Amino acid sequence: MPFRIALSGLNSASSELGVAANNIANSSTTGFKKSRAEFSDIYAASSLGTSSNAIGSGVQVSSVTQQFTQGNISFTENNMDLAISGQGFFVMNDNGVDVYTRAGGFGVDRDGYVGNSQGYRLSAYLPDLLGNVTGARGDLQLDTADIAPSATGGVLVGVNMDADTSVPGGANASTAISLGTLPVLSTADTPVTSSAFTLNDAYGNVYNTATVVYTYSGANNVWDAELQIGGIKANTGTVSIDIGTTSSADFNWDPDGASGLQGTQVLSMNTGGLTQSAVANASSVVPSSNGTAQSTFDPEGSTTYNDSTSLTVYDSLGAPHLMTVYFRKEGAPNQWASYTYLDGKNAGSVDISGNPVGDQLTFSTSGELLTPVPPSTVSITGFNPGGGADLMNMNLDYSIASQYGGDFSVFDLSQDGFSTGRLRGVDFSDTGVIVARYTNGQTRTLGQVALATFSNVQGLRQIGDTSWAETFESGTALVGAPGSGSLGTMQSGAQEGSNVDLTEQLISMITAQRNFQANAQVISTADTVTQTIINIR
């Protein structure tokens, strides 16, 4: 009997040594879970039960259980490396059969499927056509093909108009003065008078300043004199000028009382109820039949608008086009005009003369947009970008535009179009959502990694390659998204190492060695006793 008991002890100690050796061997294996040998005693029994004086028949290995404690997580430089923090297993497809692993070293095969080095494919919840993750599970595949371009359909224009700015001018006005009512005394006391006159700008720009130059005779003649509004060389008198039918300005000066001295007066213009500094610097002045000054926007003339902003938009073929929006303050209170240009060409309306017609933006006295009314959009239709692309149709959304005191500012300027793009990389969230990044700045949701857990993880069957298979003892896999229920979260660019503690395993090995030696000693002692019995005569 002692031989059999000691032999069972040797076998058990040997099994314990084997378990420790396997743990030590896999101390650097990604996702490995250590095992522990568990033992139970052996007693001979009969139908009548076990005697209270029974000695026992030795020991046996009752089970080798796996310890699914968390392994250390180390970070890598590969986004495709995944680690689970908490409970759960990656669900892998092995030719139609689900297997489970904690090793998250993944890559992409030639067909774009995400999997491991054993050829198992990672299972995930797949998205629908709108990119929303559904409950349908399948193999995760990265689409490496270029994504098609999308033409810009909407532009969000978030700007603040400077409420304190002036109506823009841009007329360099000059005219000759005929004999009239204003005396200008030269050194020879020869009076020259000027009658009233009207300035008409063919480009229709509003005047902020005006200068009228009077030449009495030749450039080298002592009779030369100058009449300048805002600084008029004279002793007495009043100069007035009528600019248009709806805008007027009176120019007055109060000379210093001495001949030849310059008197000045602050100049102002009232335009549609808005008081501001006046201006005038147009290249030409052409009289019109009605005697009014017509204002015309010109994108190449910085004095014909107040501010501008630009962004890139895309046509149906993904070709980029520069959109520039110009803003000009109108004469009416709180009213602006916007002009939209694409690649330097007017994309808006024109009048009968071919001049650009601005889209009207009207603000309330509190600075909020009144018109266009909600949805507060300005439509650009039928612009031909060329290159075989479709005509461009866009809506400019001004719903968040404002008019407050302070400098002009752009706080939001975005559009919904994009060019063609190639896959640049893949990101994983802690909830397992997979997002593909493309070279055109777009992103696409490719799915959500599926994790599985079991009622009894010790019941899983090891199948090698750091993988497990479901068994009756483990129960059916409970599959869900990372972070849901009892499932752990996921970390990208990281791997879970082995949970083997080498110190613990070395101690276990020493213990098993001592047990083995002790059982061997039992056999030696039993042999000595047997020899003694044999030698009895």
pLDDT at position 119 is 93
Residues 280 and 322 in one domain: no
Please give the DSSP secondary-structure letter assigned to residue 333. Answer: T
pLDDT digit string, tens, across residues 230-287? 333 333 444 444 433 333 344 443 333 333 333 333 333 333 333 333 333 333 333 3
128 burial via Cβ count (<10 Å: 0-12, 13-18, 19+): exposed
Report whether pLDDT(186) > 70. Answer: no
- As for how many domains the chain has, the answer is 4
pLDDT at position 49 is 62
Q: Which residue has the tokens 């933006």?
A: 361
- Distances 423 to 69, 106, 142 between C-alpha atoms, Å: 37, 18, 9
Residues 222 and 349 in one domain: no
- Distances 282 to 141, 227, 246, 292, 331 between C-alpha atoms, Å: 64, 19, 19, 15, 18
Phi, psi for 22 (deg, rounded to 5): -65, -40
Q: Given its phi and psi angles, is residue 57 left (phi above 0), alpha (psi -120 to 50 degrees) or beta?
A: alpha
Cβ 84 vs Cβ 104: under 8 Å: yes
pLDDT digit string, tens, across residues 414-459? 999 999 999 999 999 999 999 999 999 999 999 999 999 999 999 9
Percent of the chain residues topping a pLDDT of 70 = 74
Whole-number Å distance between alpha carbons of 513 and 33? 23
3-state secondary structure 175-205: CCCCCCCCCEECCCCCEECCCCCECCCCCCC
Of the listed ranges 6-15, 196-205, 493-502, the least confidently predicted one is: 196-205
Residues 173 and 277 in one domain: yes
Supply 295's token pair. 């204002």
Residues 316 and 392 in one domain: yes
**Chain length of the chain:** 537
Q: Residues near 126 by Cβ (< 8 Å), separated by ≥ 6? A: 133, 134, 136, 137, 138, 140, 447
pLDDT at position 287 is 35
Residues 481 and 395 in one domain: no
pLDDT at position 536 is 84
Please give the DSSP secondary-structure letter assigned to residue 432. Answer: -
Question: Residue 50 — pLDDT band, cuts 50, 70, 90?
Answer: low
pLDDT at position 169 is 61
Higher per-residue confidence, 52 vs 6: 6
pLDDT at position 398 is 95
Report whether pLDDT(46) > 80. Answer: no
Residues 122 and 182 in one domain: no
Residues 181 and 143 in one domain: no
Domain that holds residue 488: 73-148+422-496
Query: Cα torsion at 90, 94, 99, 101 (round to 10°)?
Result: -40
Which CATH number goes with the domain that contains 335?
Answer: 2.60.98.20
Q: Which long-range contacts (CB under 8 A, 24 or more apart) does 339-347 make?
A: 339/297, 339/299, 339/305, 340/378, 340/380, 340/396, 341/299, 342/313, 342/380, 342/383, 342/385, 342/392, 343/385, 344/299, 345/383, 347/323, 347/380, 347/383, 347/392
Residues 28 and 85 in one domain: no
pLDDT at position 516 is 92
Supply 181's token pair. 């009512």
pLDDT at position 212 is 46
Residues 6 and 103 in one domain: no
- Distances 320 to 267, 343, 387 between C-alpha atoms, Å: 47, 10, 11
- Distances 223 to 98, 226, 232, 256, 398 between C-alpha atoms, Å: 107, 10, 16, 21, 59
Bridge partner list, 396? 155, 378
Taking residues 293-311, report their average pLDDT.
83
Please give the DSSP secondary-structure letter assigned to residue 512. Answer: H
Report whether pLDDT(127) > 50. Answer: yes
Q: Residues near 182 by Cβ (< 8 Å), separated by ≥ 6? A: 193, 194, 227, 234, 237, 238, 239
Which of residues 302, 322, 353 is at a domain's end? 302
Whole-number Å distance between alpha carbons of 359 and 393? 16
CA dihedral sign, ordered 384, 385, 391, 393: negative
Q: Given its phi and psi angles, is residue 30 left (phi above 0), alpha (psi -120 to 50 degrees) or beta?
A: beta
pLDDT at position 258 is 35
pLDDT digit string, tens, across residues 52-79? 667 788 889 999 999 999 999 999 989 9
Phi, psi for 308 (deg, rounded to 5): -155, 160
Residues 200 and 294 in one domain: yes
Average pLDDT, the chain: 79
Which of residues 358, 389, 415 is at a domain's end? 415
pLDDT at position 279 is 33
Which of residues 415, 449, 474 is at a domain's end? 415
pLDDT digit string, tens, across residues 190-221? 444 444 444 444 444 434 444 444 444 433 33
pLDDT at position 537 is 67
Residues 288 and 170 in one domain: yes
Residues 211 and 320 in one domain: no
CA dihedral sign, ordered 285, 289, 295, 301: negative
Give 3-state DSSP helix, strand, coil % of the chain, rounded to 5.
Answer: 10, 40, 50
Helix or strand holding residue 515 (H, E): helix 502-534
pLDDT at position 47 is 59
pLDDT at position 245 is 36
